[in-house]
Amino acid sequence: MDKYVSIHLDPSSAKPLYLQICDGVADLIEKGKLPYGEKLPSIRQMASFFNVNAVTVVNAYKQLEAQGYVEARVGSGTYVSFAANVKDFDEFTTADDAAPLPREARSVLESAALPRRFDFAGASISPEYFPVKDFKDVVNEVLDRDGGYALEYQESSGYHPLRESIADYMKTQHDLLVPFEEVQIVSGAQQGIDILAKAFLNYGDVVYVEAPTYPGAVNAFRSRGAHIVEIEMEGDGIDLEDLEKKLAKNKPKLLYTMPVFQNPTGNSYSMKKKQELIALAERHGFYIIEDDHISDLYYRQKPTMLKAIDDADRVFYIKSFSKLFLPGLRLAFLWVPKAYSDKIALAKYSSDISSSGLFQRALDLFLRKGLWPKHLRRLRKVFYEKWQKTHDALAEQMPGELKYNRPEGGHFFWLQLPRGFYSMNLYQVAMKKGVFIMPGNLFYMSQRPSEGFRLSFAQISARDIDEGIQKLSESIKLFLQNNYTIIQGPNDRPLL
């Protein structure tokens, strides 16, 4: 218990004792005094050491877990989590595309000896595909038409004509009848997730997420003090057996999912799993957040959204205009059941009053002029060619021990190294050859070591794909042959 003597509790402070213990332990972890994998003392030991009630320590440990510092292992105890010690990767953990490369990778990039760069990490499409000319025309038209009115505050729920044109777009393109009153404009899907978290979660509420998942969502839930539970993701959607087991123990308020071309795996749910998920939400009384980040980029059949089969009104649907349009506009929309529209509009108001009026008007005009479907047709064509190139290069060049999927849309492949070979280590080897991938641990709540990694062809140009995959394949062969182990973790698990 020596390490804990530096924590001094002040019973007269307004800060509750459990938060004082939580902050003290978090401080020890941040300073590296409690390394990854170290087991925290038992509840009884801690309670007697600090002379507090056992419930106080239980609450402190729960808070540490919600903030990602520790992970509870059933029947074993509470351990310092991997995420808590991986500072170089902090920049990945919100919007993973906003800062695609961690500090350490950037310093390698800046070095003169750098080989050519092959970016399979970035997850937003490269600016060369942005419809800049069409966008400039609509912005100019809006300013000529509306003048200063375009730059006033807007209604919190959004610019009325844009809400209508989105409802119209959902009807014509997706066959979905969305009452325009149920469309809430938000400043990006990240804000949409945050607003739902703010409106629905209280401290200690349970949220289920897919494992692996998009870390920006986990951060939003954690910031509300939610207790996050991971459910394994399979090739055809969430593992329903795992889900039902966990539902029997600990019911969630919300479940966050990306049913189509999931980030990071690219996998989509089967229709059967979508139906079962809705039925489970109804039976157990939880709500689902459906994050539709990229369903429009399909190469075969148009995918069916979860919201399309949501007869029970259990789904909050979010659609972003970042992934396939212009991320800098910060525009997305929520489709919320009418019963919650006011609550959500209020949460939006207290976040940023309203999203940009100029950009909402420009997007409205872009949709009304039919430029959005035209833009999507072009993207589908270009990205299908890149998909095909990546797919063929993987089939030709990857060593047989490597497994990977073949999503029918989006721009991710999920590759799986043999058991015990962690992608965080491969990341280091590939980076030295100028190849950047996204190691799988970044997509787990505890950032636990993972054999999987995400390969995105969003940023790389079509002509570089073959050479990039060849370099990646060389890195993988080198990595597997040399069994790279840079630092040993607990239980002899290789880490960084």
Ligand X SMILES: Cc1ncc(COP(=O)(O)O)c(C=O)c1O
Binding site for ligand X (CB under 6 A): 95-97, 123, 188-190, 214, 216, 258, 263, 291, 293, 320, 322, 327, 332
CB atoms within 10 A of CB 319: 27
CB pairs under 8 A, 24+ apart, for 318-322? 318/186, 318/189, 318/192, 318/193, 318/196, 318/289, 318/290, 318/291, 318/292, 319/189, 319/292, 320/188, 320/189, 320/192, 320/291, 320/292, 320/293, 321/363, 322/124, 322/188, 322/189, 322/293
Q: How far is the CB of 296 from ligand X (least distance, A)?
A: 13
CA nearest neighbour of 121 among 486, 475, 401, 472:
472
Residue among 46 and 125 whose Cβ is closer to ligand X: 125
CA nearest neighbour of 447 among 48, 139, 37:
37
Residue among 322 and 356 whose Cβ is closer to ligand X: 322
Residue among 97 and 230 whose Cβ is closer to ligand X: 97
The answer to whether residues 225 and 204 touch, using CB atoms and an 8 Å cutoff, is yes
> In 104-130, which positions are buried (b, 16+ CB within 10 angstroms) versus exposed (e)?
ebeebeeeeeeeebbbbbbbbbeeeee
**What is d(CA 407, CA 410) in angstroms, rounded to the nearest whole number?**
7
Phi and psi based region of residue 370 (left: phi greater than 0; alpha: psi -120 to 50; beta: remaining): left
Residue among 27 and 90 whose Cβ is closer to ligand X: 90
Q: How far is the CB of 192 from ligand X (least distance, A)?
A: 7
Q: How far is the CB of 17 from ligand X (least distance, A)?
A: 37
Q: How far is the CB of 153 from ligand X (least distance, A)?
A: 21
Give the nearest residue (CB) to ligand X. Answer: 188
Residue among 28 and 297 whose Cβ is closer to ligand X: 297
Q: How far is the CB of 328 from ligand X (least distance, A)?
A: 9
Q: How far is the CB of 322 from ligand X (least distance, A)?
A: 3
Q: How far is the CB of 423 from ligand X (least distance, A)?
A: 18
Residue among 52 and 324 whose Cβ is closer to ligand X: 324
Residue among 47 and 258 whose Cβ is closer to ligand X: 258
Q: How far is the CB of 318 from ligand X (least distance, A)?
A: 7
CB atoms within 10 A of CB 474: 16
**What is d(CA 325, CA 372) in angstroms, rounded to the nearest whole number?**
9
